[in-house]
Amino acid sequence: MHEMSIAMAVVAQVEEAAGAAGASAVTSVRLQVGELAGVVPDALAFCFELACAGTVLEGAELVTEPVPARARCRSCPGDWAVGMPPRLVCPGCGQATDVELLAGRELQILSVHWEDGPGPGCDPVRTPESTPTPVREPISEER
């Protein structure tokens, strides 16, 4: 199941970014997953939960945004939904020789939400329960 290797790669990239920013916990990760990326979203969600165990991402929500596959014929106007299994023959002229895949192979981190860790000069007596932790705005990560 290659979803596990994908989940581990996502966790590693997010952990690196969160560590560099001093985040105390990652609350959500948003991924864009193309219809033709060969990824089963449910399997990826299961693997993501396992890959997050014992990391700053433990308990983080994985949000996947599907990207429908679309193609166009360079000889004809317009584009079409490719679907699954992929239909890479132009519905206008019936040719498959000059077809360009426009979308559907995406697999990228769109954003990450995390909680900031304690900064320099923080009162060490305060606990996370007594001090509200600010949430960092989403960051865009691209592969």
Per-residue pLDDT at 43: 96
Per-residue pLDDT at 45: 97
Per-residue pLDDT at 1: 61
Per-residue pLDDT at 126: 36
- Whole-number Å distance between alpha carbons of 132 and 116: 10
Neighbours of 137 (CB within 10 A): 8
- Whole-number Å distance between alpha carbons of 13 and 39: 18
Q: pLDDT truncated to tens, each residue of the chain (143 aa)? A: 699 999 999 999 999 999 999 999 999 999 999 999 999 999 999 999 999 999 999 999 999 999 999 999 998 888 999 988 898 899 988 888 889 999 999 999 999 999 987 644 343 333 344 334 344 444 444 33
How do beta strands 70-73 and 99-103 pair?
antiparallel
